[in-house]
Structure 1
């Protein structure tokens, strides 16, 4: 359970799944994986057509040393689109800006046509941005459908059992906006 404490100490409370939920994902979802070393902790779902990074945590002492970029490179070798959720930049929280810079540096772009808003256990809503990397160009409508699948198979996996509710109904938390034509 040390790995869970590491995640819980770093990620915002509203983004954390319960230990029992993550345990069930790891044990009972063949596509959900946990990689743990002293340098990093990675939890992700590998679907047939894409990878969804649920959590990536690099040991604080190793940040800036290339560990995170190496983890991302290893995922890119699967030659599938990679999706993940990132908090919007908050000038009050330096780590939010560092995360965005890290993903941008590693070739990720923001799915600016997808609005993603979740509800925390206390009823407050929070927004996350979907960042993605693809080996070849993919329309954001396809990213939207991949994210819907991640919500269904990861966020909502036994969520009623663990939280008493569906955590991320794609029809309610995701919205695909039309691109702005210039």
Structure 2
């Protein structure tokens, strides 16, 4: 099974870029869009000057619980810049979503509660809500994480979208929102 098949079997169709999209990113944006793979994992990520964005992280069921995911994240953390990723909200009917959230929490990732993210899938037409998680070696603000997510959306997610999918993704200000008040709200 090739890397794209592994990702397609693991990630919901609403979250998947087409193979053509990823291939174009790997070819035309190769200075920033990277693939790290082995028989047991696939890691697709964006290496910007001041942050890293994890597009996809897949660890084979055969390797889960053996520390491979942690090793891959540690390799990215060693670069000393914030790491951002998108995850499905926790769905208590789907234990994988809860396990994923707990894994990233154990690895020091925080939930960017002030960032809203609702993207319409060009594959299904469905609006997909995702949560933004981030790790930072410094005390990076959620506003800074929001700006980096906007950059990722415009440079990576919507790259040649009309050419690839026949239509464009929505504008960044329709997809991502930042609400400073959420950060100030007291937690119960």
Structure 1 length-normalised TM: 0.96
Q: Which residue of 2 aligns with 1:10?
A: 10
What CA deviation, in whole Å up to 9, does each residue of 1:7-37 have, x standing for no partner? 0011001000000000000111020000111
What CA deviation, in whole Å up to 9, does each residue of 1:65-114 have, x standing for no partner? 10000000000001010000000001111111111011001000000000
Q: CA deviation at 1:164?
A: 2.1
Q: CA deviation at 1:181?
A: 4.1
**Is 1:67 paired with 2:68?**
yes
Using the alignment, how far apart are the partners of 2:103 and 2:5 within structure 1? 23
- Structure 1 181/97 Cα, relative in aligned 2: closer, same or farther at 3 Å? closer
Q: Which residue of 1 aligns with 2:51?
A: 50
Using the alignment, how far apart are the partners of 2:79 and 2:170 within structure 1? 26
Q: CA deviation at 1:159?
A: 1.0
Q: Which residue of 2 aligns with 1:164?
A: 166
Q: Which residue of 2 aligns with 1:87?
A: 88
1:19-168 alignment runs, 5 A limit = 19-29=19-29, 30-121=31-122, 122-167=124-169
Using the alignment, how far apart are the partners of 2:99 and 2:24 within structure 1? 31
CA RMSD in angstroms comes to 1.2
Structure 1 unaligned regions, length at least 5: none
Structure 2 length-normalised TM: 0.93
Structure 2 unaligned regions, length at least 5: none
CA contact (8 A) 2:14 2:126 kept: no
Using the alignment, how far apart are the partners of 2:126 and 2:57 within structure 1? 24
- Structure 1 90/119 Cα, relative in aligned 2: closer, same or farther at 3 Å? same
Using the alignment, how far apart are the partners of 1:123 and 1:12 within structure 2? 13
Q: CA deviation at 1:160?
A: 1.1
SS state at 1:75 partner:
helix
